């Protein structure tokens, strides 16, 4: 096993243990609002601490970029761990058992290692650049759909960026007339993992952060999929506007959404 993947898996499982213990003893969970429609719990912070401890123990000089703790610049900034300790906090707070730990390693600007761990189902999605993607050590691939007709798509509402609501609803409506159905489950990391293992045919969302999708991006790509911005380019790391799926499904989604993009979403 790739040594850094091994550390990522260990860190993800440690965080998963923190989350599952808290889920079983829910009276001790404390939630607070950190921004518009954006919540954090003591479990997010404890899980992030568990991840950082595992990374720092193995690689004390690496940089860590976390959702809750911000950027901790190490001596070796070529190695950047991008982590979301609890993707799907709103689900967790409402005791909906659909959330995940997301960990990615970027080396000199390229994603090299990725892990998404669903502690409630004990499902571990992983990838190493150039070595394919796996679910619990079994190889996974994106679906073989060649058009968006009849597909099952995942999405996320722009609840933190409601200025894009009109554009989003227009895009949703355009796609909904073509696809079999759509899902909004509340964890972008798991949505991307599900694209990679053919539970979803495609996915799109507005305004994500790198820790929301970095691990999922590599897992989708290594499973044979494509990840782009809303223009079909590579600006998603900056904009957070992301489309993912099998190559022709991704192209079909981009084509359908293009006429409905506001000027802000075209950038």
pLDDT in tens, 116-146: 999 999 999 999 999 999 999 999 999 999 9
- Residue that has been written with the tokens 């004990």 in this structure: 122
pLDDT at residue number 164: 82
In whole angstroms, how far apart are CA 130 and each of 109, 118, 168, 180?
15, 24, 34, 32
Q: Output the pLDDT for position 162.
A: 77
pLDDT of residue 45: 93
Q: Note the maximum CA span of the chain.
A: 51
**Which pLDDT score, from 0 to 100, does residue 251 have?**
96
pLDDT digits (tens, 9 = 90+) for 47-65: 999 999 999 999 999 999 9
Instruction: Give the Cα-Cα-Cα angle 9, 190, 251 (nearest 5 degrees).
Output: 120
136: tokens are: 């619990």
Judged by DSSP in three states, 99 sits in: coil
Which segments in the chain show pLDDT lower than 50? none
First-to-last alpha carbon distance for the chain, in angstroms, is 39
Nearest Cα residue to 198 out of 177, 184, 219: 219
Question: Could you tell me the domains of the chain?
Answer: 3-140 (3.30.540.10), 152-266 (3.40.190.80)
Distance CA 107, CA 83 (A): 14
Q: Which of 243, 240, 194, 201 is nearest to 219 (CA)?
A: 194
Q: What is the pLDDT of residue 89?
A: 92
Give the pLDDT confidence score for residue 35 in this predicted structure: 66
Side by side, the strands of the sheet bearing 123-128 are: 70-72, 62-66, 76-87, 100-107, 110-118, 123-128, 133-135, 138-140
**What pairs with residue 155 in β-bridges?**
204
């Amino acid at each position: 096993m790739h040594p850094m993947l091994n550390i990522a898996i260990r860190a993800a499982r440690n965080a998963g243990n923190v989350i599952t213990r808290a889920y079983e003893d829910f009276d001790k969970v404390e939630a607070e609002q950190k921004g518009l429609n954006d919540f954090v719990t003591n479990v997010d912070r404890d899980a992030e601490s568990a991840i950082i401890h595992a990374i720092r123990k193995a690689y004390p000089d690496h940089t860590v970029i976390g959702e809750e703790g911000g950027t901790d610049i190490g001596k070796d900034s070529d190695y950047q761990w991008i982590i979301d300790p609890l993707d799907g906090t709103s689900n967790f707070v409402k005791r909906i058992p659909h959330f995940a730990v997301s960990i990615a390693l970027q080396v000199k600007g390229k994603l090299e290692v990725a892990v998404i761990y669903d502690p409630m189902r004990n499902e571990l999605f992983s990838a190493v650049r150039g070595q394919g993607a796996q679910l619990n050590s079994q190889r996974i691939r994106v679906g073989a759909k060649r058009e968006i007709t009849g597909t099952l798509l995942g999405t996320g509402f722009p609840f933190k960026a409601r200025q894009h609501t009109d554009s989003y609803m227009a895009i949703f409506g355009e796609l909904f007339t073509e696809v079999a159905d759509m899902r909004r489950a509340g964890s972008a990391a798991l949505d991307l993992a599900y694209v990679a293992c053919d539970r979803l045919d495609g996915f799109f969302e507005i305004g994500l952060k790198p820790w929301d999708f970095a691990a999922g991006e590599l897992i989708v790509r290594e499973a044979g999929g494509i990840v782009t911005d809303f223009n079909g380019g590579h600006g998603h790391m900056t904009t957070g506007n992301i489309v993912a799926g099998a190559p022709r499904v991704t192209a079909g989604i981009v084509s359908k959404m293009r006429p409905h993009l506001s000027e802000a979403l075209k950038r």
